[in-house]
Structure 1
């Protein structure tokens, strides 16, 4: 599947085919969401209009997907000529938001609805004729026919013309300067018009409900087409990214435990940073499954680890990756322990959160997992932190055999490269000039010999008197024969296996729910004789 997606991305990049497809995709709405609303019979008039406009773009979209590598997508995009014809005839070009007040169904779609609409809208011509006739008959020049929602249709005259009003006029309302009347003919027309309007709206709502029934047989095909269009949209985004950011096609291998990246970059930081991003290589094989990463703060250790994980994720999505070359083996899961944050709501300290996440990794990681560990053990004492970091790194490399990127400031951990066959050291480079540090952001083989903590503190704006006092204290600590680095015994490369207790194993193997009290007593007697 992934190689199929890589082929599709390459096809989209050829002759900039993705540019034309993006224009078609911009005009296509979220068909899947509209189909869901149709299934629930809650779609609005503009949903039908958007569906109509989207279906009209599908033939052009399929025509521009002519490459063989895209055929697996175009085969899933069906044609909906019948449904498109119904929607073109049924829905006006720009329908209102709701069906409540009508005005959604197009003229010519239903003869009965057109007849009712003509009757309702034709009232204007009739009223104009009635007004002109009554003016001539009564001789009242101020006479006019009007309408409001409270009193309906009425004939209005000024009070000055009140003596000319015919006796058949029935007074409906008296105003300050006018009188309003009704006549039987106007009342009959009002009943006919209002009935026509109500019937027109009821007929339109019935036709609108019928559109749901027209669409329901096409729901499955629409959902499949929407899924294919969504995947095509994603692949177009991948192609755009690959062209604009110079991504390469990764080579996937079936071998697990392999990750080789040449000139790899962080896909987010290189876009956000104003400075040119410094690419780095990464090589993880069966003999390099644990990389112990050392170097100064702000040197780029976390970025180096994160970009490796992001590249693996992108490759397993079917996307090209930010590197010159990439060879990636099978990775089942990615585990991370990066950053420092507490969980006040749950009453967990920073160190507790760190250990909880570490425990999850140690319990669930496999030999096919990629693990990122950033400065494990820094939240507690030096002895405890270093011991835990050593043991965790040893467990990951020796027992779990994961691909592990392990960043640390405990330089003692670099000894693991000499004790474990599948471990090696790398470091991020930095240079010091006139008591100032320059970060090179390049990764080289071997371990770092300094952390440059004081220089980073100075760069952060810590007062000079504090820095000078820290230098003196550092010199004192380094000269002490019982410094923490010299005292911590880390000679053992493997943790002794716990002693197996046969009695405990036998007890744990019992199915107590299936034993009677007598059987339990007999079992205890047998064990007492054995032990």
Structure 2
């Protein structure tokens, strides 16, 4: 079975992925905060571009789901994590080889890197086969790995390294130090006096005594004296060191590109699953969504803002989950309610769920059916930028125009409290025009607004409203529920807060 990538069914080029920039919507949806938390501590793998690349077909999403499910089994995950540790150790040896000043020390570190690589590959093939992966991605890689370690090229790489190391272990030489003169010669059976010296000084030992020895730091880099001694040894044993030099040149690119790519790509999954486990520890759920390119009937049960969940987890605060669904001709969720009631968080949740689903990841919630869009567009309120010479209203219209020019029937559009700088009548007029364009596109949309009339604009719109408690201070519940927007529940809460309900006024007048 052929294998190229554990992330892409079509084996998309890594070079193409690495050029991808962060999508514009990341800031509005707080996806940048999520990815920061996910990839923290894994800088060496350069994982961000994978999270910046949404998929365009459900086949690859299902491919990734299967790999994720495989990695939730310890018998598959543990060998992969062990291999990753060994590969990190191997890369440390390679980095040392490149940083050393003297040629033969470079070769020594290179030989150690090859030894670690060969041992890790053989051990990984045995352990992963025992784990019996179920997913197409990891099973295909296992087939590739088994074929690779049984191949002639790998066997030659390993056997030649073993032979050269054995020959190096046989090298013997003598050093004669007289004043500032150092003479290196072939070993001719001279007596090794090191044991004799230790025995002589051992009889003077009288229990524990204070040490007056000076600490000598052991730097990995050889000094010039050690390097010159080694150069003399090389001249004395060319039959050993010349093959080493040839071996290092011949196998300079010993690391198999497919194995190296797997070692990097698999961290995309592991990093995300580790982040999920931290969120799950506070009782929140994740699920593998059903993703469709055809049906716009979407649904989420107990969904939540993943960026906010991480923040609240660190602060030991609870997170509120919300549900939503669209069915039939419904396309636009109009969200109304009081300020600080969870409307913006709901909009972000909608966007996060669809984006995470588009990169083949589990999403927050117990159940989800989501739409695979061609692109997500967002318009969140921004501070007025004095450099662009546009006023607040002009800037809103300019950004919305750019969105509607590029959006298609397959897009998702999220608008969050626009036109707050103009009058109610103007805001209503402009919003109706914009929503009319979105309806014509038949695009999915979340429209957070203070204008309740928009929720009944047509059969494509549904109303959701943030709920408040009917108590003395109109406490926010941060629940956003599907119901008609009448504005009276919040007004009633405010009236109750200030003693202005009909019953309260009547009681006061009567008294």
Paired position in structure 2 for 1:309: 351
1:231 aligns with 2:290: no
Cα distance, 1:350 vs structure 2: 4.5
Paired position in structure 1 for 2:403: 361
Paired position in structure 2 for 1:287: 329
Alpha carbons 2:94, 2:110 under 8 Å: kept: no
Flag the 1:373–1:108 CA change in 2: closer, same or farther, 3 A: same
Name the CA distance, whole Å, in 1 between partners of 2:95 and 2:272. Answer: 27
Q: List alignment gaps of at least 5 residues for structure 1.
A: 91-105, 128-144, 149-192, 460-466, 472-531
Paired position in structure 2 for 1:441: 479
TM-score (norm 1): 0.59
1:74 to 139, 142, 151: 142
Cα distance, 1:58 vs structure 2: 2.6
- 1:149-298 matches, within 5 Å, as 211-216=248-253, 218=254, 222-241=256-275, 245=280, 246-273=285-312, 274-298=316-340
Paired position in structure 2 for 1:4: 63
What's the secondary structure of 2:251's corresponding residue?
Answer: helix
Cα distance, 1:81 vs structure 2: 4.2
Cα distance, 1:267 vs structure 2: 1.9
Cα distance, 1:211 vs structure 2: 1.7
Cα distance, 1:15 vs structure 2: 5.2
Cα distance, 1:325 vs structure 2: 0.9
- Structure with higher RCO (Cα < 8 A, 6+ apart): 2
- 1:315-330 matches, within 5 Å, as 315-330=357-372
Name the CA distance, whole Å, in 2 between partners of 1:24 and 1:30. Answer: 10
CA deviation map 1:49-85 (0-9, x unaligned): 5565344323333322522313023234443443345
Flag the 1:372–1:211 CA change in 2: closer, same or farther, 3 A: same
Name the CA distance, whole Å, in 1 between partners of 2:324 and 2:391. Answer: 34
- Aligned-pair Cα RMSD in Å: 4.3
Alpha carbons 2:93, 2:112 under 8 Å: kept: no
Cα distance, 1:264 vs structure 2: 1.2
Name the CA distance, whole Å, in 1 between partners of 2:490 and 2:110. Answer: 61
Cα distance, 1:316 vs structure 2: 2.1
Cα distance, 1:336 vs structure 2: 0.9
Name the CA distance, whole Å, in 1 between partners of 2:114 and 2:489. Answer: 61
Name the CA distance, whole Å, in 1 between partners of 2:163 and 2:68. Answer: 38
Q: Considering only CA atoms, is the larger Rg found in Structure 1 or Structure 2?
A: 1
Alpha carbons 2:330, 2:462 under 8 Å: kept: yes
Cα distance, 1:344 vs structure 2: 4.0
Cα distance, 1:343 vs structure 2: 3.5
Flag the 1:395–1:48 CA change in 2: closer, same or farther, 3 A: farther
What's the secondary structure of 1:27's corresponding residue?
Answer: helix
Name the CA distance, whole Å, in 2 between partners of 1:337 and 1:280. Answer: 22
Flag the 1:284–1:194 CA change in 2: closer, same or farther, 3 A: closer
1:61 to 109, 116, 124: 124
Name the CA distance, whole Å, in 1 between partners of 2:343 and 2:118. Answer: 50
Name the CA distance, whole Å, in 2 between partners of 1:415 and 1:19. Answer: 54
Alpha carbons 1:295, 1:448 under 8 Å: kept: no
Name the CA distance, whole Å, in 2 between partners of 1:197 and 1:224. Answer: 37
- 1:42-57 matches, within 5 Å, as 49-50=112-113, 52-57=115-120
Flag the 1:444–1:49 CA change in 2: closer, same or farther, 3 A: farther
What's the secondary structure of 2:363's corresponding residue?
Answer: coil
Paired position in structure 1 for 2:455: 414
Alpha carbons 2:87, 2:117 under 8 Å: kept: yes
Alpha carbons 1:290, 1:422 under 8 Å: kept: yes
Cα distance, 1:16 vs structure 2: 6.1
Name the CA distance, whole Å, in 2 between partners of 1:386 and 1:338. Answer: 18
Paired position in structure 2 for 1:395: 437
Paired position in structure 2 for 1:335: 377
TM-score (norm 2): 0.61
Alpha carbons 2:474, 2:490 under 8 Å: kept: no
Flag the 1:268–1:83 CA change in 2: closer, same or farther, 3 A: farther
Cα distance, 1:256 vs structure 2: 3.8
1:123 aligns with 2:166: no
Alpha carbons 2:61, 2:360 under 8 Å: kept: yes
Cα distance, 1:410 vs structure 2: 1.9
Cα distance, 1:243 vs structure 2: 5.4
Name the CA distance, whole Å, in 2 between partners of 1:361 and 1:50. Answer: 52
Deviates more, 1:247-256 or 1:387-396: 247-256
Name the CA distance, whole Å, in 1 between partners of 2:299 and 2:139. Answer: 32
Alpha carbons 1:284, 1:403 under 8 Å: kept: no
Cα distance, 1:347 vs structure 2: 4.2
Name the CA distance, whole Å, in 1 between partners of 2:366 and 2:79. Answer: 27
Name the CA distance, whole Å, in 1 between partners of 2:162 and 2:271. Answer: 31
Flag the 1:318–1:50 CA change in 2: closer, same or farther, 3 A: farther
Name the CA distance, whole Å, in 2 between partners of 1:349 and 1:33. Answer: 54
What's the secondary structure of 1:297's corresponding residue?
Answer: coil
Alpha carbons 1:29, 1:54 under 8 Å: kept: no
Flag the 1:16–1:200 CA change in 2: closer, same or farther, 3 A: closer
